[in-house]
Amino acid sequence: MKLFTPFVQRSLTLRNRIAVAPMCQYSAVDGMPDHWHLVHLGSRAVGGAALVIAEATAVSAEGRISPQDVGLWNDAQRDAWRPVTRFIDMQGAIAGVQLAHAGRKASAQRPWEGGGALREGAWTTVAPSAIPFDHDWHTPQALDDAGLRQVIEDFRRAAERALAAGFRLIELHAAHGYLLHQFLSPLSNHRQDAYGGSFENRTRLLREIIAAVREVWPAELPLWVRISATDWHEGGWDIEQSVRLARELPALGVDLVDVSSGGLVPHVKIPLGPGYQVPFAARIRREAGIATGAVGLITEAEQAARIVEQDDADIVLIARESLRDPYFPRRAAQQLGASIDAPVQYRRAW
Ligand SMILES: Cc1cc2nc3c(=O)[nH]c(=O)nc-3n(C[C@H](O)[C@H](O)[C@H](O)COP(=O)(O)O)c2cc1C
């Protein structure tokens, strides 16, 4: 059963093909992970996933989605992540982190407090162009050259801290309408300089950030990129551009594309259904010759196994199902006649 076979990424061996997708907890003070993050991520490592990717982690304070996002923009945050990565390691899982900048979708309320633009304590947001996400959102400032250099430097420094914090895999967040996706999409990027217009220009910031991160991220550790394969909107970023981008990524030192969709344009119609984004992961894998991760409404053991078996993706990322059941990988293994070593403390139960 391929789902439970190891997957080698540079010097790392993932023990199976199941990863916990990054999921914002909106529960940090000053960007610091705490007991919640340790128990939340730790229990999913105990649950048998090969890889646990920590939520969108801001590379700068201005890049947070909400005031309660975690970060890696200072050394105190770096130190606070160490117990989390150490615990995940001890469970035989790999600790990954998603580095993120929210761009024009920053300075927002937590979902359970409304999820719209912050009214109190808001900060100035930045983006490729001064176009708000929606009519009642902050109008961002278009990044100037110095601002762009700073963003690149923030990603580089955050990657350095991620390494020192004990993370062994970085995923760059270039999906869901956040800053890097805002540069990719012609709908949010109206720049007339070297960072806007042509495909080459719109993908430039992402390529420069990958290069900066690769300068400090060891060659023996994997680097992933999450993209939205389509904006689900005419004139936006789409699957053809995603394939074209994915073809360029291996040469830049990227090992896998985690294929999501949407998030750039509000109120679009998305044809939701089981595994609805899997065909994008399959097409990118087939046409760009890079490993892919499939995510989105993957909730059943058989379904996860089929995706990997059919070579639609190299791994599956599980988000909400792993909130409902942190032991999803163990349950899937049991259902499919495989097994994942349980922690010694729990062996009497298996
Ligand atoms: C509570 C929650 C928080 C999320 N936070 C992030 C995030 O930080 N970064 C990200 O790329 N996606 C985030 N997502 C999206 C998930 O990673 C995933 O792509 C999406 O939920 C679809 O997968 P699912 O159907 O298995 O839930 C989040 C989803 C949920 C439910």
Give 260-274 pLDDT, tens digit per residue.
999 999 999 999 999
Can you give the three-state secondary structure of 16-47, one letter per residue?
CCEEECCCCCCCCECCECCHHHHHHHHHHHHC
The model's pTM: 0.98
Domain ranges of the chain: 2-113+123-349
Q: What is the Cα–Cα distance from 140 to 131, expressed in whole angstroms? A: 6
Ligand 1 close to Cβ of residue 19 (< 6 A): no
Q: What is the Cα–Cα distance from 206 to 330, expressed in whole angstroms? A: 36
Write down the pLDDT at residue 350: 82
CATH of segment(s) 2-113+123-349:
3.20.20.70
Q: What is the distance in A from the centroid of ligand 1 to the CA of 317?
A: 10
Letter string b/e over residues 270-293, b meaning 16 or more CB atoms within 10 A of that residue's CB? eeeeebebbebbbbbbeebebbbb
Catalytic: 26? no
pLDDT (average), residues 13-29: 98
pLDDT (average), residues 91-116: 98
Q: What is the distance in A from the centroid of ligand 1 to the CA of 179?
A: 17
Which residue's C-alpha comes closest to atom 11 of ligand 1?
A: 22
Angle between helices 204-216 and 239-252 (to 10 degrees): 30
Give 211-257 pLDDT, tens digit per residue.
999 999 999 999 999 999 999 999 999 999 999 999 999 999 999 99
Q: What is the distance in A from the centroid of ligand 1 to the CA of 295?
A: 9
Ligand 1 close to Cβ of residue 321 (< 6 A): yes
Ligand 1 close to Cβ of residue 80 (< 6 A): no
